[in-house]
Amino acid sequence: MQSAESPEPLRDPAAPPRSPSPVPERFMVSKGVLRFDRFMTYVILFGGIGIIAAVFGIFVFIGSVIWPLFQSPTLTPLRELPLATSGTTLVGLDERSELPYSYDGSADLHFHSGSSNVSQPLGLESGTQITFWRQDRLNDRILLGTQDGRVGFVDISFTAKQSSPKAPRSVTGSLKLAPWLALNNPAPVESLDYASQGERKLFGAIVNAPEGPKLLVVGQRQKKGLMGAGKLEATPPEDLTPLLAGARPIRVLLPGTADAIVVQTQTNELLYLFRAPSGWEVRQQIKPFADIATDITVMDFLYGDVSLVLGDSKGNVRILSLNVPPGSDRRLFAETQRLQPLDAPIRYFVASRRNKSFVVAGDTQCALCYATTGTVRSVLDLPYTVRSLCLDAKAEHLGIVDSDGTLHLNTVHDPHPEAGWRTFFGKIWYEGYSEPRWEWQSTGGTDDFEPKLSLVPLIIGSIKGTLYAMLFAVPIALLAAIYTSQFLSASVKRIVKPAMEIMASLPSVVLGFLAALWLAPLIETKVPSILLLIVSIPLSAMIAGSIWIRVPLHQRNRLPRGAEFWLLAPLMAALGYLAWLSGPALESLLFVAKLPDGSQIADFRLWWPQFTGLPYDQRNCLVVGFMMGFAVIPVIFTIAEDALSNVPPALTSAAEALGASRWQVVRTVVLPIASAGIFSALMIGLGRAVGETMIVVMATGNTPVVDAAGRLLFGDPGLGGGLFPLADHWNIFSGMRTLSANIAVELPEAAQGSTHYRTLFLGAFALFLMTFVLNTAAELLRQRLREKFKIV
């Protein structure tokens, strides 16, 4: 019998090729579809290029904001003014450096406008001889000491006039001499300083008496009443020379609090005298350059009168700051910074009136420095010999007087002296602190506050918050995804997965609100119950599993797939509820704290600090871990469940046909094939946790602190005290602040272009780098997993 289809006859190779059969019209693509396809191809191409350009544009913008933080200061010559003064002349500048002035100890003060010099009398009495004069640190004021043992000062004020907005400004100066105060010792004044603190005003002076130099103080009090400030009343002079124990004083300084004196002696020692309720006392005696045996050539306070700058005859500069040492209740001076030395002896010094910047100079060298970071920001070699220094009130102009009496006026451009790598990532010894620290405190309550801009506490806060959120979310989300995709019945799965996806849409601010006002107060007194829940829930699952596997196989097979859920859920709920109720009993048994009166109380909040030496805050990392984990769980669950569900059924069926149990199928087949998708879910969840803002702001107390975790990560591995020193590294009951929360809280209040503003952008850049490095490493690992477990 012949086949229904006869074979096709062989084709002659020499025959011409057949023309292709025409394509049916129904399979033809219309020209409109082709044009639209071509259009969308270009749209997608340009869209991708636009996204890349936008990312690079963001980089450029952030870089332009951050870059000025790391620029060196510049000094630009502005003009030169011939003063024709002697080497001991004091030179000062007005606020805009438009009308410099000089004083040489005579009866007149000279204003220099460039085209002409104007001399104004101080208003001294006939025969008054000035033996000492110096510039006040904070005001346009010159302190004066006389030959006959009197002290006083003259205030300088400036008036600017401008006939029209385009007309040049005309600045004039005026003087006001304050009443003299007698030291009751008619000897020449050799050193003098003045301090004013509200109603209390104080002069400190060294006079060259016939029997030797004496340290004298005389004060004034100004009582305030309903009608305002009253009349100044002089207090009796006091002789503090006996407190010096025979040391010869040569220089005296008074801090702005007007309750202390710093005296330099001829032997290069410093004596710190303090006015206690019982009278003046010597609190400290220190020799700053004892290790190198040099002479102190410069000594003065920085802005704020808390830190002393000392220069010596070998070009060394050191800074001493007041702080309370551990175990003491008194503020004492301690060396906090050693700056890079100059090549010549330090002879001149001037401090800024706005921040901790200062300028020191030798004969032909000048250095711009910043005290808080202990850095020499710029060193200038000068073609002339320096005889005096001056800064205007804004520290925008530096005046240098040479040996010929010429004032070289320079424009100083250093808008961010407090910035630098050490500021942002290194330990800084701030004023008033007993040790160097990482600290973030961008604002303060007084003008002399120095901003503390270390990013380390914020980085540590971001790491801790992410760690605890992932520690809570990953086990729950992954196990739930595995169970839902492989074990749960389809009818329940149709309810569970949409519910989890809806959870992902909850606003962060709502979760943060719940964490702050509901969860944090609830957890504060229920930590023992939480501990029991952590133990009881896995234990209940293990008990349910052990019960289920003991059920005969033929009876289990009668039940539909996933029916074990109805055994697991009630048991877990019952044991969890029982554990929650048992928390107070566990607290009474294990967490008993001692009260100051010797009695005992069962309170975990009091027990934790006593037992570990670590703080306990209501809004802490535990609250953040729970609530931020609640926000991350839906993200990880949804993506991981999709990856697990998309494993080809043929592979799982083949494994089951070979006799593998359901768990063996999951462990050996499903998890390896879905590992790339699971890893992607973890990385997306990690990105959600790192960038979270509102939950952290509302639930942690928003306090930038560095515990031992930060000290360990950033090169300070001291374990600290307490019974469990390792626990100090990751105290789960302390607050924190993250980079993202810090940006959200402080950026709206930061002045545009300020150091604070730019530092917040640096924090944003650090946050981006963290996520970029993590995502890059995760993508590389995901690709390896994908190649390793791909289905051929």
Asked if the model's pLDDT at residue 690 lies above 70, the reply is yes
**Sign of the torsion angle spanned by Cα atoms 761, 763, 764, 768:** positive
What is the three-class DSSP state of 640?
A: helix
Tokens, residue 510: 């709502």
CA dist., res. 527 & res. 531, Å (int) = 6
What percent of the chain has pLDDT above 70? 90
What is the arithmetic mean of pLDDT over 226-251?
A: 84
Q: Are strands 170-177 and 150-161 parallel, antiparallel or unpaired?
A: antiparallel
Cα atoms in the 13 Å half-sphere on the side-chain side of 234: 16
Q: Which of 788, 40, 760 is nearest to 458 (CA)?
A: 760
Q: Which of 307, 387, 397, 350 is nearest to 138 (CA)?
A: 350
Residues 6+ apart with CB under 8 A from 718: 708, 711
Banded model confidence at residue 216, pLDDT cuts 50, 70, 90: very high
Q: Which of 671, 292, 699, 695 is nearest to 479 (CA)?
A: 671
Q: What CATH number does domain 292-437 carry, 2.130.10.10, 3.30.870.10, 1.20.210.10, 1.10.760.10?
A: 2.130.10.10
pLDDT tens digits, 151-182:
999 999 999 888 777 778 888 899 999 999 99
Let me know: does 66 contact 761? Beta carbons within 8 Å.
yes
Banded model confidence at residue 346, pLDDT cuts 50, 70, 90: very high
Asked if the model's pLDDT at residue 732 lies above 70, the reply is yes
pLDDT of residue 726: 40
CA dihedral 284→290→295→296, nearest 10 degrees, is -40
Residues 6+ apart with CB under 8 A from 643: 674, 676, 677, 678, 680, 681
Q: Which of 576, 599, 603 is nearest to 588 (CA)?
A: 603
Asked if the model's pLDDT at residue 594 lies above 70, the reply is yes
More confident residue, 542 or 222: 542
Q: What is the 3-state secondary structure (H, E, C) of 472-507?
A: HHHHHHHHHHHHHHHCCCHHHHHHHHHHHHHHCCCC
Phi, psi (rounded to 5 degrees) for 561: -65, 130
Cα atoms in the 13 Å half-sphere on the side-chain side of 553: 1
Tokens, residue 124: 């001294």
Let me know: does 281 contact 243? Beta carbons within 8 Å.
yes
Let me know: does 591 contact 602? Beta carbons within 8 Å.
yes
Supply the angle between the helices 565-581 and 527-549 in degrees, to the nearest 10: 150
Asked if the model's pLDDT at residue 308 lies above 50, the reply is yes
Position 490: which residue type? A
pLDDT tens digits, 659-685:
888 888 888 889 888 888 898 889 888
Residues 255-271 as b/e (b if ≥16 CB within 10 A, e otherwise) read bbbbbbbbbbbeebbbb
C-alpha pair distances (Å), 491 with each of 487, 496, 497, 565, 624: 12, 9, 11, 12, 34
pLDDT of residue 14: 65
More confident residue, 654 or 718: 654
Q: Please, where are the H alpha helices in 487-618? A: 490-503, 508-514, 520-524, 527-549, 553-556, 565-581, 583-590, 604-612
pLDDT of residue 193: 95
Let me know: does 683 contact 764? Beta carbons within 8 Å.
no
CA dist., res. 624 & res. 731, Å (int) = 13
pLDDT of residue 725: 41
Residues 386-418 as b/e (b if ≥16 CB within 10 A, e otherwise) read bbbbbbbbebbbbbbbbeebbbbbbebebebbb
Position 704: which residue type? P
Q: Which of 82, 184, 203 is nearest to 134 (CA)?
A: 203
Phi, psi (rounded to 5 degrees) for 322: -80, 130
Q: Are strands 365-370 and 357-361 parallel, antiparallel or unpaired?
A: antiparallel
CA dist., res. 402 & res. 387, Å (int) = 5
Q: Which CATH superfamily is domain 453-524+614-788 in?
A: MetI-like (1.10.3720.10)
Tokens, residue 73: 């200061």
CA dist., res. 112 & res. 115, Å (int) = 8
Asked if the model's pLDDT at residue 27 lies above 50, the reply is yes
Let me know: does 221 contact 229? Beta carbons within 8 Å.
no
Asked if the model's pLDDT at residue 6 lies above 60, the reply is no
CA dist., res. 678 & res. 672, Å (int) = 10
DSSP summary character for residue 519 = I
Asked if the model's pLDDT at residue 724 lies above 50, the reply is no
Q: Which of 255, 105, 281 is nearest to 194 (CA)?
A: 255
pLDDT of residue 319: 95
The radius of gyration of the chain's CA atoms, rounded to the nearest angstrom, is 39
What is the three-class DSSP state of 626?
A: helix
Residues 583-592 as b/e (b if ≥16 CB within 10 A, e otherwise) read beebbeeebb
Banded model confidence at residue 727, pLDDT cuts 50, 70, 90: very low
Let me know: does 179 contact 203? Beta carbons within 8 Å.
no
pLDDT tens digits, 531-544:
888 888 888 888 87
CA dist., res. 382 & res. 394, Å (int) = 23
Q: What is the mean pLDDT of the chain?
A: 86
Which of 88-92, 100-104, 253-257, 453-457 is predicted least confidently?
Answer: 88-92
CA dist., res. 672 & res. 647, Å (int) = 10
CA 754 to chain centre: 15
pLDDT tens digits, 694-717:
888 888 776 666 554 444 444 454
pLDDT tens digits, 379-404:
999 999 999 999 998 889 999 999 88
Report the 10 Å Cβ neighbour count for 136: 17
Q: Which of 771, 766, 709 is nearest to 454 (CA)?
A: 766
